[in-house]
Amino acid sequence: MSTNNNDISTDGLTFLDDGEVLYNDLYLLSETDEKGIISYTSDSFLKVANMKESEMIGQPHNIVRHQDMPRAAFKSLWDDVQSKGFWTGYVKNQRKGGGYYWVYATVLRSIDKSGNTKYVSIRVKPSREDIQKAQELYATLD
């Protein structure tokens, strides 16, 4: 990351020269059904993703996937939420219209009384150091 005088800040977002978007929001939330179809998004997530609620609800969650993310990361996400009920990890997401943002995500399984499964993701802002490490690790994965 390099912040300089050309960086543009608006509405709690900072746009860096290389396309990275930094955000001030404390957390970004979304929920899916058991197949990963989005059923809820927080306003903070919509803002950072640069999408409208109507563009997200009903869509598979890979709608925000960035091509740099290794398949192995999402395999571990799905393996862990299905077996243990939770997963934590670093995710680089594609922003609509260009750019990207990093999150540290905790994904949880929740089962209601009728037995319906849903998944919730709460994302917070990772440190520069953690982003650097995730980037290096992901570059070695498939």
Ligand X SMILES: Cc1cc2nc3c(=O)[nH]c(=O)nc-3n(C[C@H](O)[C@H](O)[C@H](O)COP(=O)(O)O)c2cc1C
Residues in touch with ligand X (CB under 6 A): 30, 32, 36, 61-62, 64-65, 69, 74, 77, 91, 93, 107, 119-121
* C-alpha span between 2 and 4 (Å, rounded): 6
Q: How far is the CB of 6 from ligand X (least distance, A)?
A: 28
CB of 109 to ligand X, least distance (A): 9
Q: Closer to ligand X by CB, 7 or 70: give it.
A: 70
Q: What is the DSSP string of 48-112?
A: HHT--HHHHTTSBGGGGB-TTS-HHHHHHHHHHHHHTSEEEEEEEEEPTTS-EEEEEEEEEEEE-
Task: Closer to ligand X by CB, 15 or 40: give it.
Answer: 40
Compute φ and ψ for 76, nearest 5 degrees: -70, -35
Q: Please state the closest distance from residue 19 (CB atom) to ligand X, in A.
A: 16
User: Measured from the CB atom, is 15 or 74 closer to ligand X?
Assistant: 74
